Structure 1
Amino acid sequence: MATTKAEPKPATASTKAVNKTYEGLTREDLLRAYRLMYLSRRIDDREILLKRQQRVFFQISGAGHEAMLVAAGLLLKPGYDWFFPYYRDRALCLALGMTAEEMLLGAVGAAADPNSGGRQMPSHWGHKGLNIVTGSSPTGSQILHAVGCAEAGRLFNAHPDSAAKAEGDYREFKDVVFHGDEVSYVSCGDGTTSQGEFWEALSSASNNKLPVLFVVEDNGYAISTPVEVNTPGGNISKVVSGFPNFHFEECDGTEVLESYRAFKRAIDYIRAGKGPAFVHGHVIRPYSHSLSDDEKLYRPEAERKDEANRDPITKFYKWLVAESLATDKELKDLQTDVDTEVQDSSDRAVEAPIPALDSYSQHLYSSTLDPASAAFETRPQFPVHVEGETAVAPAKTMADLINACLKDEMKRDPRIVIFGEDVADCSREEYLKQKQVKGKGGVFKLTSGLQMEYGADRVFNSPLAEANIVGRATGMAVRGLKPVVEIQFFDYIWPAMHQLRNELPVVRWRSNGAFSSPAVIRVAIGGYLTGGAIYHSQCGESIFTHTPGMRVIFPSNALDANGLLRTAIRCDDPVLFLEHKRLYRETFGRSPYPGPDYMVPFGKAKIVKAGHDITVVTYGAVVPRALQAAQKIERENGVSVELIDLRTLNPYDFEAIAESIHKTNRVIVAHEDTLSWGYGAEIAARIADELFDELDAPVKRVAAKDTFVAYQPALEDVILPQSDDLFAAMLEMSKY
């Protein structure tokens, strides 16, 4: 009996020989890449639908960027590497492990949103477990954070003990996990490459050979501005190519394998310890910048159609079929599975509870460590030197005791790093080792000797760039270091305003407590310098007390400076520590060294002089001037003044003010900054609001004239509040 051979079944992609690999990627890897790309696009589409239904309140997509971002995600390690993405990086975050539901919870502003708990716009990524650091909206302000994070990882690798909790450290600090070859990923669009902080970050990463992966996702537009308007020559790769120590890649970011090759070479270079890498991918933007934008107003139909032909999802679909890695049916089934996942995730997200309405105040500051608590109140332990039969504790200046505090704390806590402009003893260490120079240690000598004692990896000079200082400190603090950095003059703090307003104090709140950045920013401030003029005499503390999340400290004497700085370093909040230049070496307020554990709690004012007729509330360099006036009016006119030194401006001790006014029924608020819109206006307003019935006279303010500080000493004396001005105000109030 004859037999016939059975007809073979039609071959499918899954039954064909697919042992062939592509750049080391298997069929399963490539199908996963397609699924992630398609998932990213469908989440975008779902958010757009929800926005039109008014269930989402803002939408910005990652459409067109999916191929290069998934390629990066296949190579990088979630929870191992560190990520500072920007709002187009949906596909990367999915590849790292975020879910569709987590993203849609962010879109609807749900309480369970892992990015921010409903506090931040959608697509501002953050995920603690994956090391995706909370992001913000200002373009490029996160790039310096990635540099600081990379520096922290390098220090932990070089000094493993710095990752351990230091003995006596009051911060709730969990042991840092570090890896010798970790990468700090940071991305931005082509428009962001115009930002100064982008260039500052490249410069520091290049100089220090840091393991930072810079990614530019170039879709040709910064909202409506084309790339050639932003970038000289229209190509950022050509512009940055001169930076030393970098590995550079430029690729078609709509091609998965080409992007994968570029990222692999870049990441291998970084993990080998050779330095930073720069990947520039040319992608597309098939949707408008956001749903608040209409690209038809500035992009012609022909351009948009031409771009649609480069859509990475369509191209990759066709390639998978052409390579027999998947059939149409298999990919359609995959798409159906993704569509179901997105639909189910969306259904759950729109029903998820929103944050409690009273939760807005949570995570402004540390919930576990209160710098106003008794834990930060210790008694000084003055050293005693015997001269003859008399015990003498030698008095030190404010500069001396700030320096002593920094030395004490660096010894106690190996996580502390100090940097800023000119703070090192000498950047060329061979000069110190050969004793060719004595060392500088800051323009005011407050960091003198620290580099020589603790090494150049913990005390070093920064570039002359204030945003660089604060931005890197923010990234270091997120990563687990305790940076104590210096802005040389308050007058030059303004280039760092993005970092000081939109980043450092916001990290904890916008991440809903997932991340924190407890850096200390020391700043020399104030006038009374006899020749300081406009740009070395500024105050402006009210700008920063107006910033939620930032502690603002302003001591008037050596002992308080020492104790408050130690509290600032040991607390778990960002601190702006203002040091008045005129007080650094004044005779007024000198003190013996109080010991290595002396602390002053925040929000506790000091009664400098008790009195019962008039209350004077002030701080900083006005304290000794107010004291001189108070002593004079008591001596000459019999008027008893109670002088309150606030010491800390956020928080401040309103209870002490109220208690004093209850006794005196008259109050003067004095400060060095300009009268109008100054810090004293808030205190005066609160006194009028809450203590009006206690007053026997209107609240009076004494402050600087509403102008700049002049160079000519006679003009400076007229502009800034003097002891005679305070005396006149006290005399006038005593007669009311």
Structure 2
Amino acid sequence: MAQSAVTAEVKKSRHSKTSLSREQLIEIYRLMYLSRRTDDREIMLKRQQKIFFQISGAGHEAFLVAAALAMKPGYDWFFPYYRDRALCLALGNTAEEQLLQAVGAADDPASGGRQMPSHWTSRKLNIVSPSSSTATQCLQAIGCADAGRYFARHPEAAAKHDGDYRAYKDVQFHGDEVVYVSIGEGSTSQGEFWEALSVASNLKLPVVFAVEDNGYAISVPVEVNTPGGNISKVVTGFPNFHFAEVDGTDPITSYDAFREAVAYCRAGKGPALVHGHVIRPYSHSLSDDDKLYRPESERHADTQRDPLTKFQLYLVREGILDESGINKIERQVDEEVRQAAERAVRAPLPASDKASILRHQYSEDYDPTRPELQTEPKSEPDAQERTMADLINSCLRDEMRRDPRIVLFGEDVADCSREEYLEKGEVKGKGGVFKLTAGLQAEFGSDRVFNSPLAEASIIGRTVGMGVRGLKPVPEIQFFDYIWPAMHQLRNELSAMRWRSNGTFSNPAVIRVAIGGYLTGGSLYHSQCGESIFTHTPGMRVVFPSNALDANGLLRTALRCDDPVMFLEHKRLYREAYGRAPYPGPDYMIPFGKAKTVREGSDLTIVTYGATVPRALQAAMRAQRELEVETEVLDLRTLSPYDWEAIATSVRKTSRVIVLHEDTLSWGFGAEIAARIADELFDDLDAPVRRVAAMDTFVAYQPVLEDVILPQPEHIFRAIESITNY
């Protein structure tokens, strides 16, 4: 800045008092300038085609450095978004680390070249890997705060655990840690932001929400995003909150606001929201041109509020630095960034072999497919056979006794949220709409078994934060039909966390989901299947048992697994006479990826799973009686991974195969199995691969319609007859 401009601005500035020391004020300027120059260097590298994307934090520096100074890196937890360059630099990131991410280098500590630039990650600093999705991190911050509070109340759960679950062997916790989460003003339109505010308010969680309001969500102005154009005026009705609205281009004002907000949260009074009005001097990203939607007058007005210029003038005015001192800092930073960029562009790129690419898609600490997990059931003599629902409940109880990190939550899963009713014996308790969690709150308490709001995204988003923080969350989605609001968190967040952070963070969780039809009146919103969507999700294990014993053994493996597991429980099978079994003991396990031959045969193979297993058996027995055809029925039990070797062995033996599933015929899970059989086992086949599945429509309420829509034993029998006669 020219000296004349400095002098002119000093003359019209007012004196500002602050508790910050001279050294702190100088460091604030250095960090703000470092952030801006790192942005500028990335822009240069992008124009030189040495990096592939750039999105800046310019104009946000004062607000974000202030936030970092008010918190404790490596002690508090941080869920940033892509504008938070200055925050992360102030917490302890280096410019070189950030530029390595821009290059996509192998040594990029944030993701090893897997994520775009500006997706900050550091295990040492407790900066949790974000995605490019907006506002999803808000719910994850809630889950992290949940977990921190849990560990403070239950220090035994934070001690080194000697079992198989290895997410974080020694969890560090503090009774007063605070969780920071930030979003832009445009992201406050997302429902997950509001769900996060609701839970934080209700539970008085120590979460600081930072809203970085630069007036535009790409090209959409704030008044289009936010009623009244001001989020602070909209959120004031939430109880237990501390609110502040500040000039986010002023680091001193911002620091004071964040210091008060953090103190409020650290004292256990509740959450806080700090709304900072910042600027965006550059376009949204280098893929955007803000001249197309912002007039020159507006862009010029922003330059008058540039936090770097304003703070530089303040330092000169207050005699903290003169022009020479400022120039010295800037030269040092310029050289630091230049050298960092030179090292970054020379850094080795990630290995492009398949093994390296797939590393960290699943845990390297715990392999749920290893054969030695298989154990024998240890039932008491003359033990009573129990339903799938009973043995799922028993497994949950066993594992909660074994591992204090397991917490269960979801809609209606608790016995009773108003504990005094239970304590007085006034109510029996609910324990889930299907009673699968009955009695667990009574035994383990409301910290470990609790009801959530009716908000599926909230359930899974909190799960992400809990898993990152070191808990083993076991959420329940009450009906598969209502899982879709959580799809964002399941696909973009939970399943991707380990891979996108290059193994820095993991998300061990078991998502229990009641699924399927055959309910006689379930209709289209209580009968859905759709497992293929989740088998199509990298990083997610998918389990779908057909009987009580398998449900118990597979659930135990899932609960000891270090990966996200979707555990699909067919509602029709919960209390069926088919597949009942005695309680197998607290250590019974079944490895993933191991199918079970539930009926031997020599003429035909049926590959299936879930509720179509007993229907396949009915059809196979009829085929034996009427057609003298011996049908082999293979129950996959787990869908990701699935047991290809068992399928291939059976098909080579019988040379004829039907792939059967309950979901719609087209684009279902069976299509992949059928395609692979045709691709790899064509020479072993004596007939075309046949699929039997539901019609490509919704499940109707009237039973006479449901019987036609869903695959029945009659449909399977006719397929057996047809393929046998081919």
Same fold (TM over 0.5): yes
- Describe the SS at the equivalent of 1:254: coil
After TM superposition, give the deviation of residue 128 of structure 1 in Å: 1.1
2:167–2:470 Cα contact (<8 Å) kept: no
Q: Distance in 1 between matches of 2:195 and 2:238?
A: 12
After TM superposition, give the deviation of residue 165 of structure 1 in Å: 3.2
1:172–1:369 Cα contact (<8 Å) kept: no
1:68–1:255 Cα contact (<8 Å) kept: yes
Mapped pair 1:160 → 2:155 = yes
Q: 1:231 aligns with which of 198, 213, 226?
A: 226
- Describe the SS at the equivalent of 2:598: strand
Q: 2:400 aligns with which of 406, 410, 417?
A: 410
2:466–2:473 Cα contact (<8 Å) kept: yes
Q: Distance in 2 between matches of 1:346 and 1:261?
A: 34
1:167–1:412 Cα contact (<8 Å) kept: no
Aligned to 2:236: 241
- Describe the SS at the equivalent of 2:127: coil
Aligned to 1:458: 448
After TM superposition, give the deviation of residue 167 of structure 1 in Å: 4.0
Aligned to 1:370: 367
Q: Which amino acid aligns with 1:191?
A: G
Q: Distance in 2 between matches of 1:168 and 1:207?
A: 34
Q: Distance in 2 between matches of 1:315 and 1:421?
A: 50
Mapped pair 1:76 → 2:71 = yes
Aligned to 2:10: none
Give the TM-score normalised by the residue count of structure 1.
Answer: 0.96
Q: 2:679 aligns with which of 668, 689, 705?
A: 689
Q: Distance in 2 between matches of 1:169 and 1:698?
A: 44
State how 1:646-725 maps to structure 2 within 5 Å: 646-725=636-715
Aligned to 1:382: 379
Aligned to 1:9: none
Aligned to 1:335: 330
Give the TM-score normalised by the residue count of structure 2.
Answer: 0.97
After TM superposition, give the deviation of residue 21 of structure 1 in Å: 11
Q: 2:22 aligns with which of 27, 34, 40?
A: 27
Identity value in percent: 72
Aligned to 1:449: 439
Mapped pair 1:553 → 2:543 = yes
State how 1:6-405 maps to structure 2 within 5 Å: 23-171=18-166, 173-358=168-353, 359-384=356-381, 392-405=382-395
State how 1:500-511 maps to structure 2 within 5 Å: 500-511=490-501
Q: Which amino acid aligns with 2:479?
A: F
| 287-296 or 629-638, which deviates more | 629-638
After TM superposition, give the deviation of residue 172 of structure 1 in Å: 5.5
2:659–2:692 Cα contact (<8 Å) kept: yes
Q: 1:640 aligns with which of 624, 627, 630?
A: 630
Aligned to 1:589: 579
After TM superposition, give the deviation of residue 171 of structure 1 in Å: 3.1
Q: Which amino acid aligns with 1:669?
A: V
1:617–1:669 Cα contact (<8 Å) kept: yes
Q: Which amino acid aligns with 2:713?
A: S
Unaligned runs of 5+ in 2: 1-14
Q: Which amino acid aligns with 2:454?
A: L
Q: Distance in 1 between matches of 2:264 and 2:402?
A: 36
Q: 2:461 aligns with which of 435, 451, 471?
A: 471
- Describe the SS at the equivalent of 1:567: helix
After TM superposition, give the deviation of residue 173 of structure 1 in Å: 3.7
Aligned to 1:14: none
Unaligned runs of 5+ in 1: 1-19, 385-391
Aligned to 2:563: 573
Q: Distance in 2 between matches of 1:367 and 1:517?
A: 13
After TM superposition, give the deviation of residue 594 of structure 1 in Å: 0.5
1:446-489 alpha-carbon deviations (Å, 9 max, x no partner)? 00000000001110000000000000011000000000010000
Aligned to 1:387: none
After TM superposition, give the deviation of residue 98 of structure 1 in Å: 0.2
Q: Distance in 1 between matches of 2:704 and 2:409?
A: 36
Aligned to 1:3: none
Q: Distance in 2 between matches of 1:397 and 1:174?
A: 35
1:254-301 alpha-carbon deviations (Å, 9 max, x no partner)? 001100110011001011111111100000000000000000000000
Q: Distance in 1 between matches of 2:468 and 2:478?
A: 23
Q: Distance in 2 between matches of 1:170 and 1:200?
A: 30
Q: Which amino acid aligns with 2:371?
A: A
2:144–2:468 Cα contact (<8 Å) kept: yes
1:285-318 alpha-carbon deviations (Å, 9 max, x no partner)? 0000000000000000000001100000000000
1:630-662 alpha-carbon deviations (Å, 9 max, x no partner)? 111112221011100000000000000000011
1:91-135 alpha-carbon deviations (Å, 9 max, x no partner)? 000000000000000000000001100000000111111100001
1:166–1:412 Cα contact (<8 Å) kept: no
Q: Distance in 2 between matches of 1:417 and 1:165?
A: 17
Aligned to 1:426: 416
After TM superposition, give the deviation of residue 375 of structure 1 in Å: 4.3
Q: Distance in 2 between matches of 1:221 and 1:732?
A: 62
After TM superposition, give the deviation of residue 83 of structure 1 in Å: 0.4
After TM superposition, give the deviation of residue 721 of structure 1 in Å: 0.1
State how 1:484-503 maps to structure 2 within 5 Å: 484-503=474-493
Q: 2:513 aligns with which of 523, 543, 550?
A: 523
Q: Distance in 1 between matches of 2:655 and 2:567?
A: 32
1:21–1:27 Cα contact (<8 Å) kept: no
Q: Which amino acid aligns with 2:423?
A: K
Q: Distance in 1 between matches of 2:160 and 2:428?
A: 34
After TM superposition, give the deviation of residue 731 of structure 1 in Å: 1.0
Q: Distance in 2 between matches of 1:171 and 1:338?
A: 41
After TM superposition, give the deviation of residue 166 of structure 1 in Å: 3.4
Q: Distance in 1 between matches of 2:167 and 2:81?
A: 29
Q: Distance in 1 between matches of 2:357 and 2:723?
A: 41
Q: Distance in 2 between matches of 1:21 and 1:481?
A: 45
1:169–1:413 Cα contact (<8 Å) kept: no
- Describe the SS at the equivalent of 1:293: coil
1:409-429 alpha-carbon deviations (Å, 9 max, x no partner)? 111000000000000000000
- Describe the SS at the equivalent of 1:536: coil
Structure 1 stretches of 4+ with a deviation exceeding 4 A read: none
Q: Which amino acid aligns with 2:244?
A: E
Q: Distance in 2 between matches of 1:597 and 1:330?
A: 68
After TM superposition, give the deviation of residue 170 of structure 1 in Å: 4.3
1:315-342 alpha-carbon deviations (Å, 9 max, x no partner)? 0000000000000000001000000000
- Describe the SS at the equivalent of 1:185: strand
Q: Which amino acid aligns with 1:624?
A: P
RMSD: 1.0
Aligned to 2:590: 600
1:425–1:450 Cα contact (<8 Å) kept: yes
2:164–2:366 Cα contact (<8 Å) kept: no
2:241–2:270 Cα contact (<8 Å) kept: yes
Q: Which amino acid aligns with 2:357?
A: Y
Q: Distance in 1 between matches of 2:163 and 2:357?
A: 32
After TM superposition, give the deviation of residue 75 of structure 1 in Å: 1.5
Q: Distance in 1 between matches of 2:681 and 2:365?
A: 32
- Describe the SS at the equivalent of 1:535: coil
Aligned to 1:8: none
